Structure 1
Amino acid sequence: MGFRVIKTTIATVLAILIAHLLHIANPLSAGLLAILGVDVTRKRSIRTVSSRFLASIVGLAMSSVLFYLFGFHIWVLAVFILVGFPLIARANLKEGIVTCSVVVFRVFGGEDISMTALGTQVVLLTIGLGCATVVNLIYMPNEEDKLTSIRRKVDGLFACIFTHIASQLRSPDYVWSGQELIEASREVGLGLSTAKRALDNQVISPNEAWTIYFYMRKQQLDRIESMLQLISQIYQRMPQGESTAVLFDQLSLDVKQEIYAGTTEQMLKELEMEFKAMELPASREEFEIRSAILQLCRELALYLDISKKSKYPTGRSERSRALRSTGRA
């Protein structure tokens, strides 16, 4: 928010100075239009400035006709609002309604619909919105460091979650609050919104690597929640549970590695072969627990499959290598 205020200040002062140097009547209006034009991302800025400019031109044309036919009366202005605003919104230009109102109200206040007066409003629009667009395009905050920090938090939280899962498999009486799962969900959501904002700032050659990474983590959180439901069914310590815990120990290490090495996946395949070679359960309780552990391994396989299909960024110096490699575990 602080940086946006600085950009707004620069755009406003620049627009007023330009309008003043060109001897445009009421140059402060250019500053007001610049304030309305400053936005949070480059792509959104281009889109909203275009909408504001087109909506203002449409509004000027409609209001000029109404003022010419019926005069400069308050009720005519009310008619313009009742008719013009819905039409502008239907034309997908609703973001420009406020800007349109500024220029139309100026024409109404001046009671002049000559080509000179209308041309002045167009020039003010061009200066104000143009300065806002230039300021937006010149510089936007770099989100790379923030995204890297969020990624590290998410990876660390995932590692903690897998460590807790391993402890629960070894000891069904182990108590875990699940706080890391809540924090991971919050950080992934923050990462997705930040990645979207960073993507909107890339007008040329946009890179979706960060968005893919955080979306991958979001999908994996769904798989982890399914795992926890299955673990709640494992109420007795079993040798198969201990073997599966080793997988999650390894996964807590793999999740922090720079590339997907497939270590946990290979161990999972070997464990599944061992399960197939084991004798059948001797009791109903053993059957239920082993069934839950087997289903847990299948959920783990789905989790790892998401990692294989996704890619992620590893930072400025390793961006190109990351895009050629598969994602983290």
Structure 2
Amino acid sequence: MGFRVIKTTIATVLAIVIAHLLGILNPLSAGLLAILGVDVTRKRSIHTVSSRFFASIMGLVMSSVLFYIFGFHIWVLAVYILIGFPLISRANLKEGIVTSSVVVFRVFGGEDVSFEALFTQILLLIIGLGSAVVVNLIYMPNEEDKLTGIRRKVDSLFGLIFERIASQLRDPDYVWDGQELIEASREVELGLSTANRALDNQVIAPDEAWAIYFYMRKQQLDRIESMLQLISQVYQRMPQGEKASVLFDQLSIDVKRETYTGNTEHMLQELEKEFKAMELPHSREEFEIRSAILQLCRELALYLDISRTSKYPTEKSIRKRAVKQKT
């Protein structure tokens, strides 16, 4: 918010100075239009300013016709609002209603629909909204460092989650409050919003790597939640649980690495072969627990499949604008 205020200040002063140098009457109107044009991202700014400009032109044409035919009366202004606002909205220019109102009210206040008066309003629009676009395009904060920090925190939280899962598989009496899962979900959502904002600031050759990474993590959180439901069914110590815990120990290490190692996937394949070679369960309880562990391994396979097919940026790839796979 603080940075946006600074941008708004610069755009406003710039618009007023330009309008004053061009000798336009009441240059403060250009500053007001600049305030309305400043936005949080480059793409959104371009879209907003375009909507405001064309909505203002549309409103200027409609109001000028009404004022020319019926004169400058309050009831004519009311008719314009009743007719103009719905038409502007239907034209998908709803964001420009306020800006168009500023222009129309200036024409109404000046009681002049001559070509010179209308040209002055268009000039003010170009100066005010143009100043806002220029300020937005010149500089936007770089989100790379922030995104890298969020990624590191997410990776660390995922590592802790897998350590907790391994502990539960070894000892079903182990109590975990799931706080890391809540924090990871919050950080992933923060990463997604930050990545989308950074993407909107890239007008030319946008890089979607960060958005892909955080979307991947969001998908993997769904898989982890399914794993936790299955782990709750493992209420006794079992050799299969001990073996499965080793997988999550390895995954807690791999998840922090920059590249997809495939270590956990290879260990999982070997474990599945062992499971197939084991004797059948001797009791219903053993069957239920082993079934839950087997389902857990299948959920883990889905998690790893997401890792293998998705990509995300590492610190090295940010510099090289490349993308590496991540566990």
Q: Tell whether the structures are fold-level matches, with TM greater than 0.5.
A: yes
1:106–1:321 CA distance, 2 compared to 1 (3 A): closer
Q: Is 1:113 matched with 2:99? A: no
Q: Distance in 2 between matches of 1:193 and 1:324?
A: 20
Which residue number corresponds to residue 269 of structure 2? 269
Matched residue type, 1:248: F
The within-5 A match list for 1:183-202 is: 183-202=183-202
Moved over 6 A (4+): none
The 5 Å alignment of 1:180-219 reads 180-219=180-219
Query: What is the 5 A alignment of 1:204-243?
Result: 204-243=204-243
Q: Deviations over 1:108-146 (max 9, x none)?
A: 111111111111000000000001000000000000011
Provide Cα deviations, 1:265-320, integer angstroms capped at 9, x if missing partner: 000000000000000001000000000000000000000000001000012x4237
- What residue in structure 2 maps to residue 165 of structure 1? 165
Partner in structure 1 of residue 75 of structure 2: 75
Structure 2 unaligned blocks of 5 or more? none
Percent of paired sites with the same residue: 81
Distance in 2 (alpha carbons) for counterparts of 1:188 and 1:14: 39
Q: Partners of 2:318 and 2:14 in 1: how far apart?
A: 37
- Matched-pair contact (CA < 8 Å) for 2:314–2:324: no
Partner residue, 1:318: 317
Checking the alignment, whether the CA contact within 8 Å between 1:52 and 1:100 is kept in structure 2 is: yes
Contact 2:317 2:324 (8 Å CA) reproduced: no
Distance (Å, rounded) in 2 between the aligned partners of 1:79 and 1:179: 58
Q: Cα RMSD (Å) of the superposition?
A: 1.0
> Is contact 1:314-1:322 (8 Å) kept?
no
User: Post-superposition shift, 1:74?
Assistant: 1.1
- Is the Cα–Cα contact under 8 Å of residues 312 and 322 in structure 1 kept in the other structure? no
8 Å contact 1:312–1:323 — kept in the other structure?
A: no
Residue identity matched to 2:324: S
Which residue of the partner structure matches residue 255 of structure 1?
255
TM-score of the superposed pair, with normalisation by structure 1: 0.98
Given that residues 313 and 324 in structure 2 are in contact (C-alpha distance below 8 angstroms), is that contact kept between their aligned partners in structure 1?
no
Q: Deviations over 1:21-45 (max 9, x none)?
A: 0000100000000000001000111
Aligned residues: 327
Q: Secondary structure at the match of 2:113?
A: coil
What's the offset of the Cα at 1:321? 6.2
* Aligned AA (2:132): A
Q: Which amino acid aligns with 1:135?
A: V
1:30 match: 30
Instruction: Judge conservation of contact 1:244–1:297 (CA < 8 Å) in 2.
Output: yes
CA distance in 2, matches of 1:241, 1:110: 82
- The residue number in structure 2 matching 1:100 is 100
- The 2-side partners of 1:44 and 1:26 are apart by 28
Report the CA distance between 1:70 and its aligned residue: 1.2
Tell me, in whole angstroms, the C-alpha distance in 2 between the residues paired with 1:32 and 1:186: 38
Q: Compute the displacement of 1:325 (Å).
A: 3.0
